[in-house]
Amino acid sequence: MGDILTVKNLTTHYTTPDGPAEAAGDVSFTVKKGEMLGLIGESGCGKSTIASSILRLIEYPGKIVSGEVILDGIDLIRAKDKELEKIRWKDIAVIPQSAMNSLNPVYTVGDQIIESILLHEDVTKKEALERTKNLLELVGIDKGRWKSYPHEFSGGMKQRVAIAMALSCNPKLIISDESTTGLDVLTQAQVIALMKDLQERLDLSIIMISHDLPLVTSICDRIAIMYAGKIIEWASTKEILEDARHPYSQGLLNATPDLLNPDKEVTSIPGSVPNLVHPPSGCRFRDRCQFVMESCAEKIPPLLEIKEGHHVACILEEGDDNE
């Protein structure tokens, strides 16, 4: 499987009265064709900042400081506005963090999908309506419901509409930002199953942003774990589950109950994500790390490939020279 997206050394700051907050710092990862990549971390770690930076939708006080985002050979950070407009929605679509609440209450769901198709593609209204009906069926909604208003739909159905909208121009990549948060557990499972099914049927690539580790491990091929603006571990889901190396990743796994092993002791990670304006020097996790050493304060550990496809940013993985 080739890479469809390459994010290289992406750095995004927010200007604050106390100085810049580095919400994404030197972030690098790739997404393969047909892959579902999980992007996970606690609240405030920079997940949505990455989603917005990929499509250059960062607004003041945010600013992309450096880096590259390559899609089909085009660097989206440097692309002309017009070029980027064509790529947004048509090549990459985002299901934003509050997608189901972002539907306009005064238009029918069908009209909203039609509108997004007409905005991006040169088709007739009749063709757009046909496609809208097919899209609704694809996400498990009766096509006759295109005339319904958002308030006539449950939360889960509104989320399905948001997915249909994201699919409306046949994108290659979908970025789903916490798209099931706020739904009850059963509906959440249905929406996730739908996304997995669509990913496989349409050979889509998906970046699944979530703070929910069990959800991500249940459906993603690879997982990138973020902490305080940095990717600290990135590997296949199997590797993360069987051989997580970063103390933060291990902490997230230990904080997750295991349905198959009800006797497992669940322990949360003490402390919280640091302020990103003045993060700790060196490793940003060191205030919470049970393995912290003096040298952890000296430099930010680089993300190193410790075995094929398994990347970790921790001094413990850098070899004896650093201990």
Which residues are near ligand SF4 by CB under 6 A?
246-247, 283, 285-286, 289, 291-293, 296, 301, 314-316
Among 10, 26, 31, 49, the residue binding ligand ATP under the rule CB under 6 A is 49
Residue 231 burial by Cβ neighbours in a 10 Å radius (0-12, 13-18, 19+): buried
**For ligand ATP, which stretch binds (CB under 6 A), given 45-53, 102-110, 133-141, 259-267?**
45-53
Name the token pair of 265: 């002791």
Among 6, 14, 196, 218, the residue binding ligand ATP under the rule CB under 6 A is 14
Asked if 223 and 38 touch (Cβ cutoff 8 Å), the reply is: yes
Number of residues that bind Mg ion (CB under 5 A): 2
Nearer to ligand ATP (CB atom), residue 108 or residue 210 = 210
Q: How far is the CB of 195 from ligand ATP (least distance, A)?
A: 18
Nearer to ligand SF4 (CB atom), residue 101 or residue 281 = 281
**For ligand ATP, which stretch binds (CB under 6 A), given 37-45, 136-144, 152-160, 289-297?**
37-45
Instruction: Give DSSP secondary structure letters for 263-305.
Output: TPPP-PPSS-PPPSSSPPSS-TTGGG-TT--GGGGTSPPP-EE
Asked if 205 and 174 touch (Cβ cutoff 8 Å), the reply is: yes
Q: How far is the CB of 266 from ligand ATP (least distance, A)?
A: 20
Among 11, 12, 48, 132, the residue binding Mg ion under the rule CB under 5 A is 48
Helical residues (DSSP H) of 177-261, grouped into ranges? 185-202, 213-219, 237-243, 247-254
Name, in order, each residue with C-beta under 8 angstroms of 272's C-beta and a sequence gap of 6 or more: 42
Closest CA to 51 of 230, 214, 174: 174
Say how far apart CA 249 and CA 5 lie, in whole Å.
Answer: 24
Report the site for ligand ATP in 187-246 (rule: CB under 6 A): 211
Residues in touch with ligand ATP (CB under 6 A):
14, 16, 21, 23, 41, 43-49, 61-62, 97, 211, 276
